[in-house]
Structures are given as structure tokens and as C-alpha cells.
Amino acid sequence: MEKVLVFGHKNPDTDTICSSIVMSQMENKMNQNAECVRLGEINKETQYALDYFKVEKPRLIEKIEEGQHVILVDHNEFAQSVDGIENAKIDKIIDHHRIELKTTDPLFYFAEPVGCTSTILYELCVMNNIDVDKKMAGLMLSAIISDTLLFKSPTCTPKDVKVAEELAKIADVDVQNYGLDMLKAGTDLDDFSAEELINLDAKNLESNGSKYVIAQVNTVNIEDVLKRQADLEQAINNEISKKGLDLFVLAITDILNSNSEIISLGNKAKVVESAFGKTLENNRTFLEGVVSRKKQLLPMIEKNI
Ligand code: MG
Ligand code: MG
Ligand code: MG
């Protein structure tokens, strides 16, 4: 049987990694030949979840061969996918983002406007009568906690909360305690270089002829991260010239108080000012109550760029 590779986006987050593992297991339980792979390094938050539930990380790949069968989870934009995706055979997509692709062949596309891909995957498990074991439940729960910032993000829906509660029972964890420990594990940024830090969770985007990146780091102390502002700016400016970007926005998100400090650089840096009615000072501005790239940052930036 031909092998199908299952993977999420570049700069993988917890949803991308956990959902690709669960999706490949689900496929294999339905007698398919699926392998989950990843397109980048595992972050500390995801590693915490993998260690906790004793699951190995997927194999790293950099590109795929022409005609390779693939299943995409947690993304659909080619700019965020594996190198060579243009010539792959996309069998399925399970996602919770806006749809930005055109395929040559028909495919199975399952998307819902919920907070996390794993919420959709759990529904698929139920629909397909797949037995969800403790590890699978733990991984899906971790993904939901990560994407919804423990249910505090405006992307979180009642369905995410309900599914997470069911998964927590199967995984046998206390959601609040486990969730906070997992999120905090991801805020330990000390041993990352500035370059690594701005790429931990960065999305390449393009609209209205402008190329831009919106990156995000989670923290429990914004001031701590800002001590490295000069280094971060240098790394961002390198990225801008390397990729020919018009704008690079870095959101430093306080996961405890649900706010973000923004660093905005590039020839369109001031887009952030019109998008949020704020003034940049020292290339920075504070956005109260903003934690979601998908619902809060991206739509406003896209409209104004
Ligand atoms: Mg993701
Ligand atoms: Mg996601
Ligand atoms: Mg995210």
C-alpha cells in the first residue's frame, strides 16, 4: 500500500505536531499506511506534552518527492507547507484556518471554525468509531490547550471546551494544572538565540502584493523578553532582508494576562498603527486583550497592508 505522509505547518506548534501524530494513528487504525512527519524543530511546550504522555516525536523531513501522497493538518497554505508541496498528491486536509489553496484533484477536506485542529480530529474519531486511548487523548488535549491558550483566546469555541473536558477524562489529567504547566514550559526562552526565538512560531504571509511575517512568542513576563529587544530587532531585520519582507510583526504574548506587546519592523511597519489605532514608540506598541494571530492580528494587518 502506498505510504501517505501526515504533517502540519513549518515552525511546528503543539497542534501541528499532536494532530499529525493522532491523524496518522487514526489512518492506520483504518488500515492505511500513514506516517507522521514534522517540518521543523519541536518547541519546549510540545516537548513537555510528548514527554508527559510518553510519545516519540515524528521524523523530520525537509522536502517531498513529486507525486507523494500527503495529508495536511493544521494548515493549507503552501507558503506554510513542505518544500515540494506544489507537486504532491494531497489526499486529505484537516484544518481550522482560512482556505487559501487551489488543488488540481478532488480531496477530502474537513474544516471547522473551531480553536484547534485536534477538536476536529476528535469528532472524526467519534464519527469513525476510533477508540481514543490515553495517549491520543493527551495529545489532542495538549493541542487544544495550546491553540486556545487554556480557553482564553477569542478563537476558543464552546466545542473546544467540551471536547477538551472529554479528553481530559480519558487522559486522566486536571486540565488547569496540566495546561498551565505545559504552557509555562513553552515560555522558557532563555537558551534560544534571537534568530531562533523569532522563528519559533512564525507564519509567512502574502496579501495585496506584500510579503510579511507574523511571529509570536508566549511568555509570563513581557519585560523579560523585551530585555533582548535590540538583538531581536537585529534578527528581524536580517530576516526582512533575507526574505524580502515588507513587514515583520513579532507579538510577545503574556499568557497569564492575555495581552501582547508588538514589535513591528520593515518598510510597512506603520501598518500596525493604522490596524490598531496605536502609535509605535521605539518600534513597539502594547495591544491589550490581543492574543490571537488568527482572529486579532492577521485580519487587521491584512486589511491595512
Ligand atoms: Mg498551528
Ligand atoms: Mg492549530
Ligand atoms: Mg498558534
How many whole angstroms separate alpha carbon 109 and alpha carbon 130? Answer: 19
Q: What is the pLDDT of residue 135?
A: 98
Does the pLDDT at position 130 exceed 90?
Answer: yes
Q: Of 232, 218, 22, whose CA–CA distance to 135 is shortest?
A: 22
CATH number for the domain that contains residue 282: 3.10.310.20
Q: Based on the number of CB atoms within 10 Å of its own CB, is 241 exposed (0-12), middle (13-18) or buried (19 or more)?
A: exposed
> Domain check: are 18 and 157 in the same one?
yes
Q: What is the pLDDT of residue 190?
A: 86
Does the pLDDT at position 101 exceed 90?
Answer: no
Taking the CA of 97 as reference, the closest ligand is 2
165-184 tens-digit pLDDT: 999 999 999 999 999 999 99
Decide if 185 contacts 48 (C-beta within 8 A).
Answer: yes
Q: What is the pLDDT of residue 140?
A: 98
> Domain check: are 210 and 63 in the same one?
no
**Torsion from C-alpha of 148, 152, 154, 158, nearest 10 degrees:** 80
How many Cα neighbours within 13 Å face the side chain of 201?
25
> Domain check: are 144 and 101 in the same one?
yes
**Cα 202 to ligand 1 centre (Å):** 10
Q: What is the pLDDT of residue 139?
A: 98
Taking the CA of 117 as reference, the closest ligand is 2
> Domain check: are 105 and 218 in the same one?
no
All cell numbers assigned to 247:
513587514
Residue range 245-268: average pLDDT? 97
**Cα 201 to ligand 1 centre (Å):** 8
Sort strands 59-60 and 259-265 into parallel, antiparallel or unpaired.
unpaired
Q: Which of 185, 219, 252 is the last residue of a domain?
A: 185
* Residue 79 CB partners (closer than 8 Å, separation 6+): 204, 205, 206
Residue range 256-272: average pLDDT? 97
Taking the CA of 297 as reference, the closest ligand is 3
Residue range 104-117: average pLDDT? 96
> Domain check: are 153 and 270 in the same one?
no
**% of residues, the chain, pLDDT over 90:** 95
Query: Which residues lie at CB < 5 A from ion ligand 3?
Result: 13
> Domain check: are 166 and 205 in the same one?
no
> Domain check: are 142 and 101 in the same one?
yes
**Cα 31 to ligand 3 centre (Å):** 31
CATH number for the domain that contains residue 104: 3.90.1640.10
> Domain check: are 243 and 298 in the same one?
yes
**Cα 223 to ligand 3 centre (Å):** 21
How many whole angstroms separate alpha carbon 44 and alpha carbon 28? Answer: 28
All cell numbers assigned to 157:
469555541
> Domain check: are 159 and 280 in the same one?
no
Taking the CA of 114 as reference, the closest ligand is 2
Query: Which residues lie at CB < 5 A from ion ligand 2?
Result: 15, 74, 117, 147
pTM to 2 decimal places: 0.91
**Cα 218 to ligand 3 centre (Å):** 10
How many whole angstroms separate alpha carbon 38 and alpha carbon 233? Answer: 28
> Domain check: are 181 and 198 in the same one?
no
What are the backbone angles phi and psi of residue 58, rounded to the nearest 5°?
A: -65, 165
Position 226 confidence tier, pLDDT thresholds 50, 70, 90: very high
Instruction: Quote the DSSP letter at residue 56.
Output: P
How many whole angstroms separate alpha carbon 223 and alpha carbon 293? Answer: 20
Q: Which of 185, 202, 231 is the last residue of a domain?
A: 185
**Cα 274 to ligand 1 centre (Å):** 27
Give the SS3 label for residue 218: strand
Q: Which of 154, 185, 216 is the last residue of a domain?
A: 185
205-218 tens-digit pLDDT: 998 899 999 999 99
Residue 42 or residue 101, greater confidence: 42
Residue range 20-32: average pLDDT? 97
How many domains in the chain? 2
Residue range 226-247: average pLDDT? 98
Longest dimension (CA), the chain: 58
Does the pLDDT at position 100 exceed 90?
Answer: no
> Domain check: are 78 and 34 in the same one?
yes
Does the pLDDT at position 163 exceed 90?
Answer: yes
In which domain, by residue range, is 25 found? 4-185
**Cα 193 to ligand 3 centre (Å):** 20
Does the pLDDT at position 191 exceed 90?
Answer: no
Give the SS3 label for residue 284: strand
Residue range 121-134: average pLDDT? 96
Does the pLDDT at position 104 exceed 90?
Answer: no
Residue range 13-29: average pLDDT? 98
Q: Of 14, 18, 60, 65, whose CA–CA distance to 40 is shortest?
A: 60
* Mean residue pLDDT across the chain: 96
> Domain check: are 293 and 157 in the same one?
no
Residue range 267-272: average pLDDT? 98
Q: What is the pLDDT of residue 102?
A: 86
**% of residues, the chain, pLDDT over 70:** 100
Distance of CA 39 to the CA centre of its chain: 12
